[in-house]
Structure 1
């Protein structure tokens, strides 16, 4: 968690520290004088001129009282920092102090001590990020305005049936895209708000809202429409992101990943060929369990996922029946294997990216069609 007031605190410390020894010295002299007065060794002599000259014989010297030990010297008020906190202020507000506050089990600053407590205040901390995301959504939607359009309408697209356009892969794409946007926004929110509690929910709401806005462009396409199935999957993806960032230990143990299998064009950007390349999975990560920390099993993930095949228009024209593949398998966690101990910026970025992407041909799976392989 970034310290919000680290700069001012360091400046105040730099100003106060040079003054502290002088104040401590003054306190020492004052304490010594008081001790001397108590012992009767420093009585005033009003008859002695201020110049210190006197013809009278000097009184016999008495042994000076020993200086008080450092432990007995009470420092001057405020010389070495603020006074002790009262019980009611033992845990200060994050807006007014740099002192440590207890974090929630998920690593957030409790709402009562957070610097950004409300939804709109948290949103305001990522204005630039939201502008970029909104521009991206607009870039995806605006071109549709220059094509033939229809009045706003809804359309029931179905779920994972063989009679649907993309056998449900497009629905998982909606869930994953919303999940990924929520994760990105949460990362920025967590950084910009100092880990204020509620940032995960704020990120999820924003991600689902952006995707719902994007769906409006489908609602004016003649061959499409505003799909409540898409909206439901958007909410599901955002919800998983919220859970992953609020349930202790879940982020370390469970990941929602996408794998893209190269085709004849290596990568297809849009259309059915794009959907046919995609494999979606939940990965239970061995690295998230302390019992496997010293075992090679920490580099393996248990996978449960889905993809579809034989649903291209050319396949349907040939009478080929679409196939749905629900699979289980074991995958190699390359992020943990290659970058878990990396201290470089590139290594950390690769580690994060591989928490969302599964590298092709690094898994062994068995699916509901009887296929064993990648």
Structure 2
């Protein structure tokens, strides 16, 4: 009998995961192929063909040519992202399954009486912002041009997390939230703005500072709201006059917001923060790359990490709002 119950639980769990993944993936179908130019129509008949070990001069790609199997590469990137979100959602958001129709709710924004004090709204903005910033270079590495990579990153991020909201609307534990949907769009637009304006990107960052809260049962930077701070960072190195100063160029100032107690059973607290931190990208460039920024693939990767995640090289002044 216990064996039958175990099989039933596995069956229900897999049904939830399949439904979530199907909803997420359907939102991406147009993004991978219909909105952008790709290689010719017999893509999927050639997808698993043997690739020659060497490419002759006659078949070598020229500048402006479309790489082979580009649609497949894009589909794999989008599908992998959708699958990861579906797996996480199935284990953390949709454990109780779906049913009862589509429900919506007005969650509010940053009020003390909201479910998470607004930290969840900044979380929605951040995850879409980070999606655009991370997926754009990934799509470029797959062979897309710059404009198509940015468009793919934008619509992939928005598509996946809009699909999450729709799935929430059918779930037992959650409902579709217009505020979450607006936050998703806001974060994605900010990501596009900084991707398309290098000067602004050199001046400003949007980061998360996560340090696991004592009451959290596990390391969960996406759902442990009481341990998150969301920071808008201004970098001295982005301003020409300050960049020339051999001391000030290494510093950043940050304005942030965080909450406590909403998801851990403690007293509810909403706080703003002012911070002073070190610019790790500039330190790395000066110490290891002769002062050059974004010089190698490894450096570009670490720069993007430092742009998105606040490491513990910062001091805060906190002001309570409650």
TM-score by length of 2: 0.68
Q: State the partner residue of 1:220.
A: 170
The answer on whether the counterparts of 1:115 and 1:193 sit within 8 Å (CA) in structure 2 is no
Which string of whole-angstrom CA distances, capped at 9 and with x for unpartnered residues, describes residues 35-63 of structure 1?
xxxxxxxxxxxxxxxxxxxxxxxxxxxxx
**Alpha-carbon offset, residue 142 of structure 1:** 3.9
**Equivalent pairs, count:** 256
CA drift at 1:247: 1.9
Q: What is the correspondence of 1:5-20 to structure 2 with a 5 Å cutoff?
A: 11=57
Q: 2:212–2:221: 8 Å Cα contact kept in structure 1?
A: no
Give the equivalent residue in structure 1 for 2:256.
305
Report 1:242-281 matches (<5 A): 242-264=192-214, 268-270=218-220, 274-281=224-231
**Structure ID, larger Rg:** 1
Structure 2: runs of 5 or more not aligned: 1-53, 290-294
1:240 paired to 2:190: yes
Matched ranges for 1:11-30 at <5 A: 11=57
Structure scoring higher RCO (CA < 8 A, sep ≥ 6) equals 2
Q: Shift in Å at residue 271 of structure 1?
A: 9.8
2:309 paired with 1:350: no
Residue 179 of structure 1 deviates from its aligned partner by 1.3
Q: 2:296, 2:269 → 1: CA distance? A: 43
Give the 3 Å change call, closer, same or farther, for CA 313–248 of structure 1 in structure 2: closer
CA contact (8 A) 2:225 2:260 kept: no
Q: Deviations over 1:290-349 (max 9, x none)?
A: 32334222211121111112334632xxxx4x2221222221222322356357765553
Counterparts in 2 of 1:164 and 1:193: CA distance versus 1, 3 Å: same
1:292 equivalent in structure 2: 242
More helix by share: 2
Distance in 2 separating the partners of 1:275 and 1:268? 12
Residues 208 and 238, structure 1, Cα contact 8 Å, conserved in 2:
yes
Equivalent of 1:185 in 135, 143, 162: 135
Aligned twin of 1:334: 280
What secondary structure, in the 3-state scheme, does the structure 2 residue paired with 1:133 have? helix
SS in 2 for 1:324: strand
- Structure 1 351/272 Cα, relative in aligned 2: closer, same or farther at 3 Å? closer
What RMSD over aligned residues (CA atoms) do the two structures have, in Å?
3.3
Runs of 5+ in structure 1 lacking a partner? 1-6, 13-94, 99-113
Q: What TM-score do you get using the length of structure 1 for normalisation?
A: 0.60
Deviations 1:89-148 (A, max 9, x none): xxxxxx9x64xxxxxxxxxxxxxxx667xxxx9866522211211211221334566625
